[in-house]
Amino acid sequence: MKSVFELSITEDSDGSLNATMMVDGKPFGEDCVDLVDLKKSAIISGAPLSQ
């Protein structure tokens, strides 16, 4: 059985970003995506996690 992973990034009117992660159509935790680390990992392979 394959799972479906979805990541949605939305911007609020004040400019802040919100990430929502879904696995098989169900929310996967609150605040589990660090957008700064996500951006780093997309740009720089192997970027360390923030402390």
Residue type, 14: D
DSSP state of 15: S
d(CA 48, CA 40): 9
48: pLDDT confidence band, cut at 50, 70 and 90? low
* Residue 4 or residue 47, greater confidence: 4
CA nearest neighbour of 7 among 27, 24, 21? 21
* Phi (first) and psi of residue 5, to 5 degrees: -105, 130
The 10s digit of each residue's pLDDT in 5-45 is: 888 888 889 988 888 888 888 887 766 667 777 777 777 76
Instruction: Tell me the whole-structure pTM to 2 decimals.
Output: 0.46
**What are the boundaries of each domain within the chain?**
5-43
Cβ count within 10 A of residue 47: 14
